[in-house]
Amino acid sequence: MAIDGPAMDEPTPDDPSAEFDALLQRAAQEVREDDDNDSWLRVTESIFAKVRASTRHSVPLRAELSADLVARGDQLFITDIVVKQILRDALEGIGGTAPLRMHFDIDNGICQGIEIDLTAEYGTDLKKSSRDIRNLVHEVLRVELGSAATTPENIKIHIADVTDERF
């Protein structure tokens, strides 16, 4: 018995998939004939170059995990950029001072200490402010890093600039 007509897997002229296939073939042909078909590659390279240029290098700091996660071999790291921003936000509440620079002393991902350069307003009680800042920084590090936080003795406070609003 002979069957007249197209094979079962061939689309018929009124089949929508035939129209779609023809459209795809036409688009593929236009891409092949286009002299500038690699322009999207140049755009992609440009975007990646801009992303690479705008990223900032960060250093991972080891943070404490619960014992069951440590037993599984898990580790938790928080980048120094994140911890610095948390510290900057916390230090906004200390009157008469503002952080200028922070530098972590990191050994194998563990925070061994931190140096903080501050600017202070003329007339600020620097001993009290330094003590308050050291305590606050230690508390923030303890909350964020857990037992991996440094001790208060390893939090160095430097007054790098004194400003006078009167002038």
Do residues 68 and 140 share a domain?
yes
Q: How far is CA 102 from CA 13, 48, 85, in A?
A: 71, 29, 10
Domain's final residue, options 7, 34, 53: 53
Residue 137 CA, distance from chain mean position: 21
Do residues 31 and 112 share a domain?
no
- Cβ contact 105:111 at 8 Å: yes
Do residues 30 and 71 share a domain?
no
pLDDT at 69: 77
- Cβ contact 116:152 at 8 Å: no
Q: Is residue 4 domain-resident?
A: no
Q: Is residue 70 domain-resident?
A: yes
Cα-based angle 8, 9, 15 (whole degrees, multiple of 5): 90
3-state secondary structure of 47: helix
Q: Is residue 65 domain-resident?
A: yes
- Cβ contact 47:29 at 8 Å: no
Do residues 66 and 45 share a domain?
no
Residues 6+ apart with CB under 8 A from 35: none
Do residues 102 and 129 share a domain?
yes
Residue 93 CA, distance from chain mean position: 25
pLDDT(41) > 70: no
Q: Is residue 127 domain-resident?
A: yes
How many CB atoms are located within 10 Å of the residue 159 CB?
Answer: 16
State pTM to two decimals: 0.64
What CATH number does residue 117 fall under?
3.30.300.30
pLDDT at 30: 74
Do residues 20 and 93 share a domain?
no
Tens of pLDDT, residue by residue over 94-119, are: 889 999 999 999 999 999 999 999 99
Do residues 103 and 157 share a domain?
yes
Do residues 48 and 88 share a domain?
no
Tens of pLDDT, residue by residue over 58-105, are: 899 999 887 787 778 888 899 999 999 999 999 987 889 999 999 999
Residue 36 domain boundaries: 16-53
- At residue 85, what are phi and psi to the nearest 5 degrees? -65, -40
pLDDT(40) > 70: no
Do residues 64 and 27 share a domain?
no
Tens of pLDDT, residue by residue over 8-17, are: 455 455 555 6
Quote the number of domains for the chain. Answer: 2
